[in-house]
Structure 1
Amino acid sequence: MILIGAKDIEKSFLDKSILEKVTFNINDNDKIGIIGINGAGKSTLFNILTGELSKDSGDLFIKNDLKIGYLKQHNSFDSSNSLYEECLSVFSEVLRLENKLREYENQMNDAEDLEDLMNKYHRDLERFESMGGYLYDSEIRGTLKGLGFSDDDLDKNVTNFSGGQKSRIMLAKLLLQKCDVLLLDEPTNHLDIKAIEFLETFLKNYKGACVIISHDRYFLDGIVNRIFHMENRTIKTYETDYTGFMKQRKIYMDIQRKTYENQQREYKRQLEIVEKYTSTDNAKKNKQGQSRKKLLDKMKLMDKPTYDDGTFGIKFKISSPSGKDVLMVEDLSKKIDDKLIFENCNLDIYKEERVGLIGANGVGKTTLFNIITKKLKPTSGKFRLGSNVNIGYFDQEQIYLNDKNTIIDEIWDEYPKMTHYEIRSAFAIMNFVGDDIFKLIEDLSGGEKARVSLLKLMLSKSNFLLLDEPTNHLDIDSKESLEDSLINYEGTVFVISHDRYFLNRVCDKIIVLEKDKATTFLGNYDYYQEKINDSKTDETEESLNKTAAVKEKKKQRAITNNLKKLRKQIETIESNIDKIDERIKEIEDIFCQNDIYDDPKKILELNEELENLNAEKNSLYSDWEDKQLEYEDFDKN
């Protein structure tokens, strides 16, 4: 079923065209990834779909009563609620119905028209149950836990949370709303890897359509079954995941290029024939030449294929090599205001390694970097930099950029000996051309600020790069350029990142920082995941092996005894279910008698008993299923 349909949508701002002839459908249960370079119009499209922006032309169909949820990339909200109360506000209609049901129950003893009241009660009870009225508490707690909040956070006022945490709160509220269509603009930006994995699972199982703007390639591969690629102000649809899209796009680009080249070659050949024939004195050939020219004039020539290119030519170089030992950390710990951030941190980094640092939000990854760069002092323990180590630091918050500087002044202030030509050449590498270099830092987008910081880092020629979330504001093309440059870098890299694709491609060592330790894995992110899964399997197998001999001796006797015991328990449960069914039938028969409505108190009692019986019956069915599965497992053995 088509939920949203767009045909030939166009949008311009002043004289700049953003969207041209954009056509697509969003179907029920679609999981769609929207990709394109920064500035391609992805967020503009979302704003048109939600009605926050008007389209200039084209047709937009949105199914009647469609519930659309929109997570913007930059969120802000004011509230005096606690975290739990803020999420509870999503269920205002459920809470209203719950209060109404309690009111009905209180009115039953004194109701003049009890039958009418009971009809209203059962109608609203049915609606309450269909809206998952009994589940909202567990849904709130489960979603918040999955997104990285603890039980201790539930009663905290939302004003006390950071900007990143508030973004996670907005995401939690959106997930709890159960919209028909979710529009998510960079939903992983403020999530650690564990929370991203929770969101992946949630969205894969989501009973609705999801349209996701994301530069997280690993995340896209885990969820989407369609790709909307925004390029040259329009959309091309690919019925595949991100990896499939990349393969298909390469084939498409090759076909376009070859078709264009073949057409140009044929056009040139025909033009040469026309010129040859029309320049001859032979009347017959001259006439043939004129005929060919008419055909040539009618030939529809395709434009040379152009593709949005967000790549940049950054190349990190070193002024001099470091020693073999680059960073040694021993028993490092850090407390801030008596709050322990981490302890027992031990790690070693060697020359030319590319090391990824991962861990939960708040575990102290950036704090560790600030200690290494001597912006903070450790509470205990020590660290040592190797000989001739020169640190270059990329800060994810870009706090070391001067907002009042222009881009060119930001570079010139740090590298005053660079000539105008050298400055221009450096900016061109990062796709800053023309008057771009005179923009104020405070007016730049997140991606543009990241490119300025990366340019400063490149010019530093440091041999040890500390990178704190360097890919956060980069589009996919820019990420791949950064990855290529780091892979070919002759220095050492220590990078904090939640981008698993980036960690896989760049890193040859993963360090997991936890509150009480740092654990090293000698491989990329997939290797780390494999080792974690192997460890869980080994623990299970070790436990099984220790008791295998004893179990074998007792196996037959245990199976026999347990089968008898389970069979008896199953029969008892079935008997109890039958008794409950009999009592439920009796109560339903009583409700069919007219005189019962003369006794409101009795109705209330019977209704309460009916609810209790149904609850007990559901519990017994659950027990019956568990025992039945257990019985079947024993029987197989």
Structure 2
Amino acid sequence: MILSCSNISKAFGTNEVIKHASFHIEDHEKAAIVGINGAGKSTLLKMIIGELASDEGEVVISKGKTLGYLSQHQDLSGDRTVYEEVLEVKRPLMDMEGKIRKLELDMKHATGEELDEMLTVYSRLNHEFELQNGYAYRSEVTGVLKGLGFTEDEFGKPVSALSGGQKTRVALGRLLLTKPDIILLDEPTNHLDMDSIAWLEGYLINYDGSVIIVAHDRYFLNRVVTKIIELDNGILSVYQGNYTEYSNKRAMIREAKMKAYLNQQQEIRHQEEVITKLKSFNREKSIRRAESREKMLNKIELLEKPAEVNDEMRIQLEPNVISGNDVLTVKDLKKSFGDNLLFEHIGFEVKRGERVAIIGGNGTGKTTILKILNGILAPDQGEVSLGSKVHIGYYDQEHQVLHMDKTLFDELQDTYPYMNNTQIRNILAAFLFTGDDVYKRIKDLSGGERGRVSLAKLMLSEANFLILDEPTNHLDITSKEILEGALVNYTGTVLYVSHDRYFINKTATRILDLTNQTLVNYIGNYDYYLEKKDIMTGLLTPVGEAKAVTVEDTSGIKLDWKAQKEEQAKIRKRQNELKKTEEEIHKLETRDGEIDELLVKEEIFTDVPKLMELNQEKEMISKRLEELYELWGELAE
């Protein structure tokens, strides 16, 4: 055991953030701290590193072990370049290297005992230098910087000129190269693109020390961690396994708790009815029995009702009008800013019912494509056309669709003037804005709160084509899961940009990878993209040659464009059949229940012809339901 937290608590005023929490971390273990925004995850990290004192309990770190901590926000300054700032971590090795070089020069002019002493020191320093991987430390620095998404052209940039996200990446590089025994990372993937996140995953998986991560990136957590530490309403629970295993176990535990709670409530109601009945007899013996039962009832330790997992934010997306089958057509699109060519000769189509994810590295032009589709930016060449009855709903990661000086209430009222005060308050409450929150100005909200306002407007728009730019940014895991469910059940069309691989895996039916200034098309989710990516990368032509490389250029792996469209049509047909089957099952199950209610009525069971008619109908329903259940199973597969 390398770290132990025993019975630690922390409150801010009357708000108890962490209550009597205990857990431990083993040597080499990789763990994640999860919970909704405001649950106390960052507070727990700060208590571990000693930045915050706990109100009670203790944090114990094994003797001689070192801690390294990356906070969400970094404020690096000074005249050093990116490379120099990260290289400074290796200062002890640089100093040792300097001594070795100096000794080499001095030994040329030394003799006798002086030379022997120098040789002894030189041999010891060389041995120590080699043990600390001194001959590779510069290439190690270069590898980490490149892994975190810096190009060699950016190595010479002064850190004072970097963006907040770039400074965080520099700080992360410094931390990884110090190689502490325990690394604590607060949202390390926020400013990384997919390639950098994949690199960091591999680095942490193979890291020799222990790692504790606060992150909302579920795909990242699935790959890296083997323990989940959950904070929920101040209560800490520990689960073994990755994020998916934790999610499944949590659901099972919650289901068991809910079952126990409902059983107890049923028993309490039953006892209360018996007590009331006994008292109604108004006899001494029955009253004594009632009082005895009341005493037993008062001694019961009441179980708390488990909180709903997804009852916080309520999103229901539904188009007002069904669009035509051809939703979007893009032809020969090109865009550059000065000498920086983002993409050219881009062409793709989006059909009704598709959920298409655009992915790619930072700065490749993904958000630019969405802005062109929304008319915010003009392309250098090419055309964009929308299909029949297509109505766009746009979610912008910079929230430019929001008016910063307006209150939340005014933002909704001005956009949807037909809504009355109660309706507006109800919508805002569904997105966790209650009481005086509705009079806050947009500019005073956090990134996550602005995201919730944008989602509220999106829900009210009743659009049939949603264009979303990083919709999961600033959302906690629970809110992400709610949004995933809303999009999967949405009957319109979705095109979005996201770095959230778990979100993409759950929601995308197709992926467009913006790479080498063109789009590569993959029919499937993120796992399918990973499976086929290496094959497609080998087919991409160098920049400057033909850019129209698409997935249909391969044969034998179901990537032909015509085959893709046919496959999409099959998927949509199967989805429609599944929906129809579910509707018929629901209709028949409802009717079956109605018949059961009729059969116990005296006017029915005394009417033989009617009774036989209903029994025959019930038998027919039973046979049809058997067929439908089997069909549903096949379609669901």
Q: Does the pair score TM above 0.5?
A: yes
- Opposite residue 476 of structure 2, the aligned amino acid is D
Deviates more, 1:165-174 or 1:509-518: 165-174
- Opposite residue 200 of structure 2, the aligned amino acid is L
Question: For residues 536 and 520 of structure 1, what CA distance do their matches in structure 2 show?
Answer: 12
Question: For residues 36 and 310 of structure 1, what CA distance do their matches in structure 2 show?
Answer: 15
Question: For residues 265 and 159 of structure 2, what CA distance do their matches in structure 1 show?
Answer: 62
Question: For residues 520 and 537 of structure 1, what CA distance do their matches in structure 2 show?
Answer: 14
Question: For residues 295 and 123 of structure 2, what CA distance do their matches in structure 1 show?
Answer: 80
1:310, 1:475 within 8 Å by CA — same for their partners in 2? no
Cα distance, 1:219 vs structure 2? 1.3
Question: For residues 334 and 377 of structure 1, what CA distance do their matches in structure 2 show?
Answer: 8
Question: Which runs of structure 2 are paired with 1:22-37 in the superposition (5 Å)?
Answer: 22-37=21-36
Partner of 2:520: 519
Partner of 1:82: 81
Cα distance, 1:32 vs structure 2? 0.8
Deviation sequence 1:29-54 (CA, Å, 0-9, x none): 11112211111111111111122222
Q: TM-score, length-normalised on structure 2?
A: 0.79
Deviation sequence 1:368-405 (CA, Å, 0-9, x none): 11222222222233322333333222111223433333
User: 1:340 aligns to what SS in structure 2?
Assistant: strand
User: 1:236 aligns to what SS in structure 2?
Assistant: strand
Partner of 1:52: 51
Partner of 1:371: 372
Question: For residues 64 and 396 of structure 1, what CA distance do their matches in structure 2 show?
Answer: 45
Question: Which runs of structure 2 are paired with 1:343-382 in the superposition (5 Å)?
Answer: 343-382=344-383
Question: For residues 376 and 288 of structure 1, what CA distance do their matches in structure 2 show?
Answer: 80
1:37, 1:310 within 8 Å by CA — same for their partners in 2? no
Partner of 2:226: 225
Alpha carbons of 1:264 and 1:327: their partners in 2 closer, same or farther (altered >3 Å)?
closer
Partner of 1:528: 529
User: 2:314 aligns to what SS in structure 1?
Assistant: coil
Alpha carbons of 1:399 and 1:176: their partners in 2 closer, same or farther (altered >3 Å)?
farther
2:364, 2:517 within 8 Å by CA — same for their partners in 1? no
Partner of 1:95: 94
Alpha carbons of 1:113 and 1:492: their partners in 2 closer, same or farther (altered >3 Å)?
same
User: 1:135 aligns to what SS in structure 2?
Assistant: helix
Partner of 2:624: none
1:6, 1:25 within 8 Å by CA — same for their partners in 2? yes
Cα distance, 1:440 vs structure 2? 2.8
User: 1:80 aligns to what SS in structure 2?
Assistant: coil
Question: For residues 106 and 253 of structure 1, what CA distance do their matches in structure 2 show?
Answer: 71
Partner of 2:614: none
Question: For residues 320 and 428 of structure 1, what CA distance do their matches in structure 2 show?
Answer: 26
User: 2:173 aligns to what SS in structure 1?
Assistant: helix
Deviation sequence 1:210-233 (CA, Å, 0-9, x none): 111122221111111111111121
Question: For residues 204 and 244 of structure 1, what CA distance do their matches in structure 2 show?
Answer: 18
Q: TM-score, length-normalised on structure 1?
A: 0.79
- Opposite residue 181 of structure 1, the aligned amino acid is I
Cα distance, 1:94 vs structure 2? 1.7
Cα distance, 1:130 vs structure 2? 2.8
Cα distance, 1:307 vs structure 2? 5.3
Bigger relative contact order (CA 8 A; separation at least 6): 1
Question: Which runs of structure 2 are paired with 1:100-499 in the superposition (5 Å)?
Answer: 100-108=99-107, 109-110=109-110, 113-114=114-115, 116-270=117-271, 293-306=294-307, 309=310, 311-499=312-500
Deviates more, 1:332-341 or 1:353-362: 332-341
Q: What residue ranges of structure 2 are gaps of 5+ in the alignment?
A: 541-637
2:73, 2:164 within 8 Å by CA — same for their partners in 1? no
1:310, 1:477 within 8 Å by CA — same for their partners in 2? no
Cα distance, 1:534 vs structure 2? 5.3
Q: What residue ranges of structure 1 are gaps of 5+ in the alignment?
A: 540-637
User: 1:173 aligns to what SS in structure 2?
Assistant: helix
Partner of 1:605: none
Alpha carbons of 1:449 and 1:128: their partners in 2 closer, same or farther (altered >3 Å)?
same
- Opposite residue 2 of structure 2, the aligned amino acid is L
Deviation sequence 1:487-516 (CA, Å, 0-9, x none): 222322110011122112211111111233
User: 1:355 aligns to what SS in structure 2?
Assistant: strand
Question: For residues 535 and 196 of structure 2, what CA distance do their matches in structure 1 show?
Answer: 22
Partner of 1:8: 7
- Opposite residue 22 of structure 1, the aligned amino acid is A
Question: For residues 253 and 405 of structure 1, what CA distance do their matches in structure 2 show?
Answer: 40
Question: Which runs of structure 2 are paired with 1:485-634 in the superposition (5 Å)?
Answer: 485-533=486-534
1:328, 1:384 within 8 Å by CA — same for their partners in 2? yes
Question: Which runs of structure 2 are paired with 1:60-75 in the superposition (5 Å)?
Answer: 60-75=59-74
Cα distance, 1:412 vs structure 2? 2.4
Superposed CA RMSD in Å reads 2.6
Alpha carbons of 1:148 and 1:434: their partners in 2 closer, same or farther (altered >3 Å)?
same
Question: For residues 95 and 253 of structure 1, what CA distance do their matches in structure 2 show?
Answer: 55
2:9, 2:20 within 8 Å by CA — same for their partners in 1? yes
1:231, 1:307 within 8 Å by CA — same for their partners in 2? no
Cα distance, 1:298 vs structure 2? 3.5
| Count of paired positions | 538
Question: For residues 248 and 153 of structure 2, what CA distance do their matches in structure 1 show?
Answer: 46
1:343, 1:515 within 8 Å by CA — same for their partners in 2? no
Cα distance, 1:4 vs structure 2? 1.6
- Opposite residue 41 of structure 1, the aligned amino acid is G
Alpha carbons of 1:48 and 1:283: their partners in 2 closer, same or farther (altered >3 Å)?
same
Deviates more, 1:44-53 or 1:402-411: 402-411
User: 1:413 aligns to what SS in structure 2?
Assistant: helix
Deviation sequence 1:234-263 (CA, Å, 0-9, x none): 210001111111111111112111222333
Question: For residues 396 and 139 of structure 1, what CA distance do their matches in structure 2 show?
Answer: 35
